[in-house]
Structure 1
Amino acid sequence: MAKQEKVLATDEAVELMDQLKEKHGPLMFHQSGGCCDGSSPMCYPRGEFRVGDSDILLGYVNDAPFYMSKDQYEYWKHTQLIIDVVEGRGGMFSLENPEGKRFLIRSRVF
């Protein structure tokens, strides 16, 4: 039985990531809040957000590492996270904010 990826991205999210990579270089994501669909992961230039012992690496999406706090993971451990994009503003420090779009999480229960 094939192992399920813990985090994926839609084609639209990958397209936005590619645009952001051209402007900012390699990316990373961190999900620190929100316990359900529609939560916004934060996108940073890789290395700009300090991960620590309380964060876990769920996987890579379009070569970008995706981290989540261990406590937060307890809410999500039985789901597959799917990064998507919608119109609107995201987190103030997330790289996509000036683009008029925001990343958000959709989920699929394992």
Structure 2
Amino acid sequence: MSDLPQQVTATPAALSLIDELKAAHGPLMFYQSGGCCEGSAPMCFPEGEFRIGSRDVKVGEIGGFPFYISPQQFEYWKHTQIIIDVVPGFGAAFSLEGPGGLQFLTRSRVFTDDEIGALRNAGRI
């Protein structure tokens, strides 16, 4: 359904960094951390290096790679579009971009009523 709003998207800067990480590490995957060691940071791993739980939710793809979130986090965020950006700094130590002086950052926007309706009708929320 192409009329559905994307539940996760990435800025041009994030997509550029994803391309660099792909060139260095091969296929990737993303997970929106919900706390613990890394706070609420979007985490980037080589594909298969992070174990996805059976209840984790795939909310979409960025840069052609899957983006997952825990079911608890999804309940909080299901009415928002997750926008992955990049900022200078050393963020998530477990994420591939961590040592490079840049870090992925989650921004968001609340879906409109029409977007929420479309996602609900499609069974996405």
Q: Does 1:78 align with 2:75?
A: no
For 2:102, the aligned partner's letter is K
Q: Name the structure where helix makes up a greater proportion of residues.
A: 2
Give the Å deviation of 1:51: 0.2
**Cα displacement (A) at 1:54:** 2.6
Q: Secondary structure at the match of 2:66?
A: strand
Match of 1:42 in 2: 43
Q: CA deviation at 1:80?
A: 0.3
In the other structure, the counterpart of 1:94 is 95
For the pair shown, the structure with the greater C-alpha radius of gyration is 2
Q: Any idea what SS the aligned residue of 1:47 has?
A: coil
* Residues 1:19 and 2:49 are matched in the alignment: no
Structure 2 gaps of 5+ residues are 112-125
Corresponding residue for residue 114 of structure 2:
none
- 1:106 paired with 2:107, answer yes
Q: Give the whole-Å Cα distance in 2 for the aligned partners of 1:88 and 1:77.
A: 28
Q: What amino acid maps onto 2:49 in structure 1? A: E
Calculate the TM-score normalised by the size of structure 2. Answer: 0.81
Off by >3 Å, runs of 4+ in structure 1:
none
Residue 77 of structure 2 aligns to which amino acid in structure 1? W
CA deviation after TM superposition for structure 1 residue 39, in Å: 3.9
Identity across matched positions, percent: 59
| Counterpart residue type for residue 90 of structure 1 | G
C-alpha distance after superposition, 1:60-97 (max 9, x if no partner):
11111000000111110100000000000111110001
Q: Deviations over 1:1-58 (max 9, x none)?
A: 9210000000000000000001000111001215xxx942010001100101131100
Give the letter aligned to residue 14 of structure 2: A
Across the aligned residues of Structure 1 and Structure 2, the Cα RMSD in angstroms comes to 1.6
What TM-score, normalized to structure 1?
0.92
Structure whose residues are more often strand by fraction: 1
Choose 1-10 or 44-53, whichever is displaced more: 1-10
